[in-house]
Structure 1
Amino acid sequence: MTSTLDVADARLAYTDTGSGHPVVWLHGSGPGASGMSNFGGNLPAFQDYRNIVIDLPGWGDSPRPATDQPLIFHAAELVSRAMTVLGIERAHLVGNSYGGAVAMRVAMEYPDRVDRLVLMAPGGVLPADAPPWPVGLEHLFAYMAAEKPSREAMAEFVRLMVFDESLATEALIDERYASSLRSHPEMQIPPNFGDLTPDLARIAAPTLLVWGREDQTVPVTWAPRILEGIPNAELRVLPHCRHWVQYERAPEFNHIVREFLRGGTVAPSEA
């Protein structure tokens, strides 16, 4: 069940399930995205953790407050404040795409709040030769820019997110399309997400990067810059998989992430 949380001048929607050490789940920026649409299928494998699944500002049921900050920076500040309101001192952070960038920013600014980071094809770090944009980002930005995007545009976007297009079901397309119309973002295109590249070395948390080998949105060729920039990072690449690793390869993803999180919490003095 979705609840809402007042954080400073913003309101965040979130779901709180399970019990145990907290895990904060942060979704991507694709049209129709929300916390539960990204991670609802994974949560049954993590019920021995307390799972906080957040709708980031402007997506799902969370309104977009006015801000001049880059989106990643603004969202990270609200996530940290939400953790405080929820009584969470430290947590593991799991984020895909835009949510991975938000997780990295939290780890940079509030290292004592983060135990372990799991990042699925995270944004916020671009290669020197971008743009041109990968085809998945082209479709994402075009959808955001449309005054009233079409269901067919959503279907094209969803099919780009998975290697096995049978996973792009009509029900999934309908769900994402309806959600996108409720929370269609109003922003510059491409959005001012912010650049995390100069601060990667500030991330002290043990970090797991998970990537789909055939990702057409945030290509695996973008991974080395992050892998080399974060001092304690490792990379797993899954074949026959595109951008939605947690959806397309859910059993493997759940297993890999659980094994990584079992490495334990990090005491503040070790961070």
Structure 2
Amino acid sequence: MSSTESPDTATAAALPVPPAGPGAPGAADEAVEWTTLASPPRLTLAVRTPGVPAGAADRVREPALYVHGLGGSSRNWSALMPLLADRLTGEAIDLPGFGESPPPADGNYSVSAQARAVIRHLDAGGRGPVHLLGNSLGGAAVTRVAATRPDLVRTLTLISPALPELRPQRTAVPTALLAVPGVARLFNRLTRDWTPEQRTREVLALCYGDPARVTPEGFESAVEEYARRLELPYFWEVMERSARGVVNAYTLGGQHGLWRQAERVLAPTLLVYGGRDRLVSIRMARRAAAAFRGSRLLTLPEAGHVAMMEYPEAVARAVRDLVDSAAARSEAPGAARPAADGS
């Protein structure tokens, strides 16, 4: 499928980001634990960590947190995290209602609520400042985190971040339609005879620059995860409310607008865009590079919306360079640590 062809957009709208990684599903050395944040609203988050590479346990490794996109999960980072595990002590969270995390007690799926979930997790663990990475919806959420809590962020990596576009691509429109009340459940009724394989295949066609890069094992893993989620009683409500949260974030102006918050980010930033991204246009790369001061830009012409799953080695090299550069800067004489911003 070329970058100009449109997949079956009704199907693809159901799950904008693949629920699982492209290969080596459920790696034996990955671990998943649950953490509960009791203060209102109550949140329980699943946290995935990679295995520690041989010889890395005795090294000083810096903390990192990975945040997935709409419809995705912590497993979206399973290809990238091990490539950085010798340098970073990584955690990937399932945002509330996604992956293996139950819905939030207050039913709030706004971008701001997702950002608060990230902040609460970091505050509770005392892990900040961290190297913070986000894809799609996760990219929008961590942009808010970096703008409002610079003390928690050492570096910021954004992979196809869901920042407002004045003229979204035609292939991104069905995802926005999920925000309309009732559309998600209507779609479910219209497609109740479709198999998880069909649904997964269309999602991968939407999100990957070249779906053929998905291994058979990765496809099977994604199908199994999709089937599991379809059985969850809250699946469609989470998709609808989360999509609405993204659309609402696009309409915010003033200091709360995502582009305005991007301009406030102080952390060294890496931007990653795919030339075949059907959800976030590569046209936005130039605007993002101008908004995030002093940012680095990596464009991958053949990548789609989930470059960390398609080209994990290339993304890992760029992240490693960013981390090393930030470390050198922090060791320079007179280096200052940013203060918290409670706005």
User: TM tier, shorter chain?
Assistant: 0.7 to 0.9
Aligned pair partner of 2:64 in 5, 13, 23: 23
| Deviation, structure 1 residue 269 | 3.4
The superposition leaves residues 140-176 of structure 1 with CA deviations (integer Å, 9 ceiling, x where unpaired) of 8559553365322332111221122213444144134
Distance 1:236 1:213 in 2: 11
Corresponding residue number in structure 1 for 2:293: 231
Q: Secondary structure at the match of 2:199?
A: helix
Instruction: State yes or no: 1:160 paired with 2:200.
Output: no
- Cα gap change, 1:182 to 1:34, in 2 (>3 Å): farther
Distance 1:134 1:86 in 2: 41
Corresponding residue number in structure 2 for 1:200: 262
Corresponding residue number in structure 2 for 1:44: 82
Aligned pair partner of 2:45 in 9, 12, 22: 12
Q: Normalising by the residue count of structure 1, what TM-score does the alignment of the two structures yield?
A: 0.87
Which piece of structure 1 moves more, 133-142 or 255-264?
Answer: 133-142
What code does the residue aligned with 2:92 have? V
What code does the residue aligned with 2:98 have? W
Identity %: 27
What code does the residue aligned with 1:27 have? H
If you compute each CA radius of gyration, which structure gives the higher value, 1 or 2?
A: 2
Which piece of structure 1 moves more, 109-118 or 259-268?
Answer: 259-268
Distance 1:255 1:137 in 2: 33
What code does the residue aligned with 2:201 have? A
Q: Is the 8 A contact 1:29 1:98 kept in 2?
A: yes
Q: Is the 8 A contact 1:212 1:239 kept in 2?
A: yes
Q: Is the 8 A contact 2:200 2:222 kept in 1?
A: yes
Distance 1:68 1:202 in 2: 29
Corresponding residue number in structure 2 for 1:249: 311
Instruction: State yes or no: 1:180 paired with 2:229.
Output: yes
What code does the residue aligned with 1:129 have? R
| Deviation, structure 1 residue 216 | 0.6
Q: Normalising by the residue count of structure 2, what TM-score does the alignment of the two structures yield?
A: 0.70
Q: Is the 8 A contact 2:122 2:128 kept in 1?
A: yes
What code does the residue aligned with 2:94 have? D
Q: Which runs of 5+ in 2 are unaligned?
A: 1-30, 251-257
Q: Which runs of 5+ in 1 are unaligned?
A: none
Distance 1:211 1:120 in 2: 6
Which piece of structure 1 moves more, 160-169 or 105-114?
Answer: 160-169
Q: Secondary structure at the match of 2:245?
A: coil
| Deviation, structure 1 residue 89 | 2.5
Work out which structure has the larger RCO, using CA pairs closer than 8 Å and 6 or more positions apart in sequence: 2
Q: Secondary structure at the match of 2:90?
A: strand
Distance 2:66 2:119 in 1: 13
Q: Is the 8 A contact 1:121 1:218 kept in 2?
A: yes
Distance 2:336 2:69 in 1: 28
Distance 1:95 1:247 in 2: 13
| Deviation, structure 1 residue 270 | 5.4
Q: Is the 8 A contact 2:151 2:338 kept in 1?
A: no
Distance 1:217 1:98 in 2: 11
CA RMSD of aligned residues (A): 2.4
Q: Is the 8 A contact 2:271 2:295 kept in 1?
A: yes
